[in-house]
């Protein structure tokens, strides 16, 4: 074994003892108001009892159908949304209770790349102004280094130098997402949340953007949370995978074990609905029956019980705990415990 490999393994072992990002029992409920007095009449249960760790340099993939709470979870982790309950820790510092002023010093360490790059870029500002605004506000570099730093950022994401004098509407979707990545990198963050960063792009462009993000992760030693509905993308890009359904975690598993060793019926259904790489391979297509329950009135027991092919009576009344296995895999399923 080489010295470099041994050093890297030692660093990974050390990092494993202290999560860089830790979320503990996060809940998010959105109140629904109604009536003459505009009182709270119900709650949308967007995220329920979610906990996870991300070690330094690791990418956690969060996957599930639309409306399962993935994006809400990501926004809570960097406090664009406030958790209803729970605790978030960044590199040993609890950030959940920090006020606005206290969060400013933390904010530049945590950035987000949005699904729709156009809606997240000010259409009235050139690329130069977009980047300069964030860089100057956080004091990343001084005025004398500003132009060279902006040029470096634009080159880093594979854009031409003249791009800095254009407006967002002058770029294609893939180019705008590159600019969104540049803006996230501008503050020299340590942790980035990528919220469906390629789902709005053409398939031919998706691979380019994913490869760029993978290169940048290695170059800058980034820790990431990658949110997607596509298991194939998550399997390719992430180290660990967390599968969510109706705001709850169904399974956690390493990406290299996902295809062969995923156990939860929902995870298996997601894998079975993916396109087949080899046209000569034949397997039945998985089609889930029924609809996702309403987050306004989540059912008792396991939220997947109404669609699960392995449902038992207990599933309809008791929510299974997320049981950790010795191999690091965790499953919330009565049929697997």
Do 264 and 332 contact (CB within 8 A), yes or no? yes
Measured distance CA(157)–CA(149) in Å, rounded: 13
Best CA proximity match to 200, nearest among 176, 235, 216, 164? 176
pLDDT of residue 312: 92
Query: For 22-76, how does the pLDDT look when each residue is reduced to its tens digit (9 = 90+)?
Result: 999 999 999 999 888 889 889 999 999 999 999 999 999 999 988 899 999 999 9
pLDDT of residue 198: 87
In this structure, the strands spanning 59-63 and 240-245 are parallel
pLDDT of residue 202: 83
Please state the φ and ψ torsions of residue 106, each to the nearest 5 degrees. -85, -30
Residues pairing with 323 in the sheet: 331
Measured distance CA(235)–CA(145) in Å, rounded: 39
**pTM of the predicted model as reported, rounded to 2 decimal places:** 0.89
DSSP 95: -
Burial 170-181 (b: 16+ CB within 10 A, else e): ebebbbbbbbbb
pLDDT of residue 274: 67
Residues pairing with 40 in the sheet: 33
Residues comprising the chain, all counted = 337
In this structure, the strands spanning 85-90 and 93-94 are antiparallel
Low-confidence residues of the chain: pLDDT under 70? 1-17, 274-287
- SS3 assignment, position 120: coil
pLDDT of residue 328: 86
pLDDT of residue 293: 87
Residues pairing with 50 in the sheet: 26
End-to-end CA distance of the chain: 38
Burial (0-12, 13-18, 19+ Cβ within 10 Å), 237: buried
Do 64 and 245 contact (CB within 8 A), yes or no? yes
pLDDT of residue 4: 43
pLDDT of residue 2: 41
In whole angstroms, how far apart are CA 301 and each of 5, 84, 311, 316, 319?
46, 21, 11, 5, 4
């Amino acid at each position: 074994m080489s010295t470099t490999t041994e050093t890297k393994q030692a660093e990974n072992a050390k990092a494993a003892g202290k999560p860089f990002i830790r979320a503990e029992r996060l809940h998010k409920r959105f109140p629904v108001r109604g009536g003459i007095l505009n009182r709270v009449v119900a709650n949308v249960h967007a995220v329920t009892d979610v906990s996870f760790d991300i070690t330094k340099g690791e990418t956690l993939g969060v996957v599930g159908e639309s409306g399962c709470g993935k994006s809400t979870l990501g926004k809570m982790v960097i406090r664009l949304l406030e958790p209803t309950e729970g605790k978030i820790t960044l590199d040993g510092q609890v950030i959940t209770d920090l006020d606005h002023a206290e969060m400013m010093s933390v904010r530049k360490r945590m950035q987000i790349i949005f699904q729709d790059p156009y809606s997240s870029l000010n259409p009235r500002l050139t690329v130069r102004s977009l980047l300069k605004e964030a860089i100057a506000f956080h004091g990343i570099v001084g005025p004398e280094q500003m132009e060279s730093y902006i040029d470096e950022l634009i080159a880093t994401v594979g854009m031409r130098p003249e791009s800095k004098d254009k407006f967002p509407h002058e770029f294609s979707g893939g180019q705008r997402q590159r600019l969104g990545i540049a803006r996230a990198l501008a503050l020299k963050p340590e942790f980035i949340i990528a919220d469906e960063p390629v789902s709005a792009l053409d398939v031919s462009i998706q691979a380019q953007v994913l490869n760029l993000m993978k290169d940048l992760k290695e170059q800058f030693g980034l820790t990431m949370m990658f949110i997607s509905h596509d298991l194939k993308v998550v399997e390719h890009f992430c180290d660990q995978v967390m599968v969510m359904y109706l705001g709850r975690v169904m399974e956690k598993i390493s990406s290299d074990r996902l295809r062969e060793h995923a156990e939860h019926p929902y995870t298996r259904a997601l894998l079975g609905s993916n396109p087949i790489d080899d046209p000569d391979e034949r397997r039945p297509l998985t089609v889930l029956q029924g609809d996702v329950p309403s987050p306004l009135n989540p059912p008792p027991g396991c939220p997947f019980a109404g669609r699960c092919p392995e449902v038992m009576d207990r599933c309809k009344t008791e929510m299974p705990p997320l049981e950790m296995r010795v191999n690091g895999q965790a499953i919330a399923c009565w049929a697997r415990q």
